[in-house]
Chain A
Amino acid sequence: MLELKNISFQVDDEGKGKEIIRDVSITVPESKLIVVTGPNGGGKSTLARLIAGIEKPTGGRIFFSGEDITEKTVTERARMGIAYAFQQPVRFKGIRVLDLIRIAAGKTLSVADACEYLSSVGLCARDYVDREVNASLSGGELKRIEIATVLARHAKLSVFDEPEAGIDLWSFRNLIDVFRRMRETIEKGSILIISHQERILNIADEIIVIKDGNVDRQGPKEAVYPFLNAGLVAMDALECEGHIRAMGQGGAQA
């Protein structure tokens, strides 16, 4: 369904080219839930932006439903069925939650239908439909509205960038159900979730670990999970060691 072939992405960093994504090839098959994880700054969000068309790759091709979409605009890709929930949702002065959900649905939804989407992300719909998507919303509220708009799109491919960030525990549990239900209800639809959360990793059909702009590891969760855990333990040990060394140096200077 979605295929990235040898994708590279370079930015200009004070005159020097900086590779943020290096020769990444991944496939998101039909009806699957893929979770992308990996250390901060590894390139996960950049990958999502490349899929949505917000950034254009400096190398490689992107295929969606068998079509080469590398040169297609954000709007064209959205209309072909790619939806993207931002890691940091955007605020708008004057645009109401209801307006945003209607735009996402691409039709004049009834207020009741719009409320369904809000309820499924744990927002008491009546309190929110008329609110403006502006600075008055809390981070968690905004994040949930962002997820609701993507649900309203019923897209063939839905990409969620750290949907759990800032969301309370109770709503988080429901969120897992939302993703499960999504997988069941959207025919041939696939979901790509960027996450650091164990419980989201747990519902994945496949896990992709992105590190330093590269695919570090990829496979069914049973295969990847042990490495993730080992990696975490190793990282903790390293960090700890570095910390002790730094403290030692500090002591010597003093």
Chain B
Amino acid sequence: MKLDEIQKRLLQEVADLHEVPEGAYNIRSNSQSAGRRSTANIEIVSKEDVSGLEIRIKPGTKRESVHIPVVMTESGLKEVVYNDFFIGENSDVVIVAGCGIDNCGNQDSEHDGIHRFYVGKGARVRYVEKHYGSGEGKGKRILNPGTEVHMDEDSYMEMEMVQIKGVDDTVRTTTADLKAGAKLVVRERLMTHGEQNAVSTYAVELNGDNASADVVSRSVARDHSFQKFDAKIVGNAACNGHTECDSIIMDQGRILAVPGLEANHVDASLFHEAAIGKIAGEQLIKLMTLGLTEAEAEEQIINGFLR
């Protein structure tokens, strides 16, 4: 696998990878596959009609991982990639995706990853997706992830989505439908700077008894950036749904939180929480009495908040 230093740095940022990962992987670099490995239980094949992968995980596969990071370093690339995950019944796996864009040119670079998950009965998935941008060019770094999750009975999926730095424009759309006993947990961490724009939309349908969803976003909007968090949960059975948007605004940052709950069943129990505000003054003062400057205190508070 040949990757230059910038590509290696991006890989480290988005997938904590220093070397070729263990288990199954596919590394996509500037629209080409830079390396791939399938294992006995996890098969990765290229799609024939469109750009993207099919990842098939055999039923009962335990404690295995799949890494599918994407790095882009050529300015002006624009790609749409479709990845489908078929996660076999009763398997227990970790999937690490993520995209790093380094754009030093003047043309926009854009990666739109469309991920579809078919989570089999009783399967457990931990999905980690990190987005990162760098480069001094005028060209924007744009990421528009679309995620579709279909969860069969008693399956469990935990999604950790992180975008802390350097992505200029994001529209994230996540939809999920859950059958009886399935559980979806989403933890989103977002920080925007400069003139960045980030929109995150969730639509979760709880269709079976005892299905549950917990969607929590923690975010920080600095400078002139703008964020929109739009989370909707629909309860069509005896189910539990919770959404939470907990945000800090700084400078001229703006945040719009649009919670939506729809209960179509008398035993659906849904609730949401949203709190937006600047850093609490007493938190700053406390850390300053420990010897930090105001700027250092701010940094500690935000680092903790987005941990």
Contacts and interface: CB of A to CB of B under 8 A. Distances in A.
Contacts of A52: 289
Contact of B289 (A83, A92, A99): A83
A92 B280 CA distance: 9
B106 interface: no
B305 A74 contact: no
Interface in B249-299: 280, 282-283, 285-294
Instruction: Report which residue of B290, B305, B307 has the largest number of chain A beta carbons within 10 angstroms of its beta carbon.
Output: B290
Contacts of A153: 290-291
Residue in A73, A74, A99 whose Cβ sees the most chain B Cβ within 10 Å: A74
B300 interface: yes
Nearest to B287: A103
Contacts of B186: none
A90 B306 contact: no
A240 interface: no
B278 to A, nearest CB: 14
Interface residues of A, number: 26
Interface string A78-120: 1100111010011011111001100110100000000000000
A99 B286 contact: no
B289 A78 contact: yes
A106 B246 contact: no
Interface in B137-167: none
Nearest to A82: B289
Contacts of A149: 290
Contact of B290 (A93, A94, A104, A132): A104
B275 to A, nearest CB: 10
A233 interface: no
A92 B304 contact: yes
Contact of B291 (A78, A95, A99, A100): A78
B290 A103 contact: yes
Interface of A: 52, 54, 73-75, 78-79, 82-84, 86, 89-90, 92-96, 99-100, 103-104, 106, 132, 149, 153
